[in-house]
Structure 1
Amino acid sequence: MLSPSCKNWQFAVHGRQLAVMEWGNPEGVPVIALHGWLDNAASFTLLAHHLPQIRLIALDLAGHGLSDHRPAGQPYYIWDNVADVLALVEHLGLERVVLLGHSLGAGVATLFAGAFPERVSRMILLDGMIPLDYPAEQLPESMARALRRGARLGRRSLRPYASFEEALQTRINSRWPVSRQAATWLLERGLKQQADGWVWRSDIALTQPSIVRLCEPQIAAFVRRLTMPVKLIMAERGEELSLIESMLHMVPSLEFDMLPATHHLHLEPEPARQIADWISQRLLADQDG
């Protein structure tokens, strides 16, 4: 399957460049798409095939894809992604947007919408809804563990792949497997070639545990502020539902569905078509209303 026509561009945030993929109708409803951990904006390529009528704007989160890494020694906190999303919305001059988030991106979307509910008209969340937490009473031990691992980070290096094909096979057969086509989309944006082989563009610091995370009561405060319509689509063969079940009742206007799919459901042909149909129907209804 060929990639749909896409515009690639960048914008600056505090001296860092963040990269964006944009598809569809420039006059269509703006949808900000936020990818999962160690993925990149290309994870929304298949959905873009089915949504030519909307303006789909997918951000490479910091340290992913073609976006700059955060400065050495600066941790990757999820709330810093919220600041980057706000910078993107402001850069585009948009008053209100639809948020589309997968996994980590869904957690970023929830924090953004909870902080700025007046800026979000609708949310579509894919196999995720909230960020990972640290129970408050476990924070000291979790912090110590993360700091010890972070101290060893400087001695680690990325093992290069001998070929693009070797990297492709590794991604296809990873913990979260995807099809060859999906892996190709992700790796074309997520790999770079150097003298000794192919390596990931993503920052190795992303693989480290967080020094600090929000705790459940703090996350719940954001969830309760999701006053806009929220469509949550979970994967039957995913592992995320148990992490969010306790908070589903807190969302005032939640529409919940499950699809027979794996974690990357938006990169599987039939689930992606269904997700795109749901998005199209709801955005059309919003326009008619």
Structure 2
Amino acid sequence: MEIEKVRCLIIGSGPAGYTAAIYAGRANLSPVLYEGLQPGGQLTTTTEVENFPGYPQGIDGPKLMEDLRTQAERFGADIRFGIATASDLTNAPYQIVIDGEKTIEAQTLIIATGATAKYLGLEDEKKYAGMGVSACATCDGFFYRKKVVAVVGGGDTACEEAIYLAGLASKVYLIVRKPFLRASKIMQERVMNHDKIEVLFEHNAVGLYGDNGVEGVNLVERFGAADEKRYSLPIDGFFLAIGHQPNSDIFKPYIDTDETGYILTEDNSPRTNVPGVFAAGDVADPHYRQAITAAGSGCKAAIEAERYLSERGL
């Protein structure tokens, strides 16, 4: 198997990966970046980004990622298409297998593989992606001011998203599969006492409808029961809040993660438990999941990588 030696390897191409490549390139680390399954990351599925600093009129998600990629290449980043399929982080230099056939031997590794939002698995979720379906209220809530939206989920995240959206929308339906909320008691109280939020217990969303975007959701109350009830509910936006899955599986034998798979980092830094291996962006962030926080962590990861190499004379 072919082996290539690099000083700084970056896995992932969202705001974290590209920003890490910009900083690593400017520090003369000759970074190599593999883009992964979704070049540009989750933002390439977003139509308009209005909350990234420096774009007062907003910018299309794919265009923002194209700009970051171009900037990274300007400073010498070697950006390639490929997927990391295996890792060996037992000893430095660390080995990463790309597409099951090529091995990269890296003095430093920046993991920026992101996290994938969980969906219900409805065909309509794909059909209306970017047209009323979202997995990020903070990202897209602004577009639903004074409109009617639905949030799917019953945990803390779903309740937080519902409360956030209630500050913008005219009405928020919280669609909960179970007859109770899994959220913490305080979050339950906030949701149940909010005059703009209506909780639909024992409801399943089974489809969406609309001509030029989401205009409503098809619901089943008490799915499978003798008194099952099916009906349609007019809404303008459909938000998924049933969790994210961090893309960290190939690193788990070596890197400490929480029970969900988010990589654990040390002292508010991108440092992992493995020296010279850093985590940036959503793969290490279960809380914020924003482009700007991901970019900031990518910056920190590159600076840490440069310091690590410098201290060891590599």
Instruction: Determine if the TM-score, normalized by the shorter chain, exceeds 0.5.
Output: no
Larger strand proportion of the pair: 2
Q: TM-score, normalised by structure 1?
A: 0.30
Larger helix proportion of the pair: 1
Which has the greater radius of gyration? 2
Q: TM-score, normalised by structure 2?
A: 0.28
